[in-house]
Amino acid sequence: MTSGELTRTEAIAEMVGEVFTTADYYEVGREKVREFARALHDDNPFHWDEAKAAEGGHPALLAPLTMVAIMGTKSQAQLLEAHIPGNLLKSGVLQVDQSFTFHKPIMAGDKLYCDVNLETYRTVAGADLFTVKTLVRDVDRGVLQESWTSLAGPGEEAGRLPDDFDDIVDRVIFSGADSHVQPLVPSSRAEIPAPEGGPWTTIAFDELTEGMDLPVRRQQFTRGDVINYIGVSGDPNPIHHSDAVAHAAGLDTVVAQAMLTLGTAAGYLTSFVGDPAAFRNMSARFTSPVYIPANEPAVVEYSAKVKSLDPATKTAMITFGASLNGKRVFGRCTANVQFA
């Protein structure tokens, strides 16, 4: 490094807050909504039945709460690969947190742009810790959703990965990932709207009590589930389908996508609440991977509790969690919901 040249950390930090947007919109298809709900084992009728959605006051099918994963993940990868220096997505990056703020529901027929930016960046003991913000806005309805994805990477030196790791990945990864990619374009921060007030078609607020438990749900995840989610969401990461890549990355075996297990948790919550549009925000920390054996399912147990109630606004905080073989999959998980 010559005098006056920025260090890697300084160069990355200079890009914090710089906003880029997708060059073209993503049109939400009615069958894509159903396809994504199916991948998440989400039977909420507002994702499947237009008549039921209309009865709830919605002019089209509602997308599952985490459907931003389809367009948002690609936009984040483009940002980090093409516009942020330092190769933050080098092999070994793990997602550690995910949070959402919901302003308006995403619906079939929406034409969505994604605004992305590096929101925070720091190093701890040489490792990269960073958060990418994704804002979703419709051509006509404005800002619909904000999400924050926090990741941890190995920093400048991956170290633990084998020398031939890239070759192992190249032998199994989807070969068309770079085809027809439209570049992101510079943008500015969008104006955040005031939240919509409903009313939403939920269970009655008066039916809730502080401390009440939601029914436990046990959900199977097989290799077929994670491979189907790859196709539906467009997630190309081979640790979700290749034992060779998973082992080379230091994992016991193939792991389920964090957004698959969290999206299924969101469906578990909306099945209790009723209307997905009633959710104001949701967040989760990923504490351990969900390993998927080759010849049998992994069974994840979802549970939730009404933590607190606000009678003045008819809102509730719900805490939720998931476990696999008694080990926590999520930590510090909350959702705030507006009830009828």
pLDDT one-digit tens code per residue, 10-67 = 999 999 999 999 999 999 999 999 999 999 999 999 999 999 999 999 999 999 999 9
Of 237 and 216, more confident:
216
Span 204-232, mean pLDDT? Answer: 97
Confidence of residue 164 (pLDDT cuts 50, 70, 90): confident
Confidence of residue 197 (pLDDT cuts 50, 70, 90): confident
For residue 105, the model assigns a pLDDT of: 96
Name the CATH superfamily for 8-338.
Hotdog Thioesterase (3.10.129.10)
For residue 158, the model assigns a pLDDT of: 56
- Residue 201, pLDDT above cutoff 60: yes
Annotated domain spans of the chain: 8-338
In this prediction the pTM is 0.93
- Residue 263, pLDDT above cutoff 90: yes
Amino acid type, 188: S
Span 123-131, mean pLDDT? Answer: 92
Q: Whole-angstrom Cα distance, residue 167 to residue 156? A: 20
Tell me the pLDDT of the chain averaged across its residues.
93
Q: Whole-angstrom Cα distance, residue 27 to residue 21? A: 15
Cα angle, residue 100 at apex, residues 336 and 267 outer, rounded to 5°? 70
Confidence of residue 170 (pLDDT cuts 50, 70, 90): confident
- Residue 211, pLDDT above cutoff 70: yes
Span 308-335, mean pLDDT? Answer: 96
Q: Whole-angstrom Cα distance, residue 282 to residue 335? A: 4
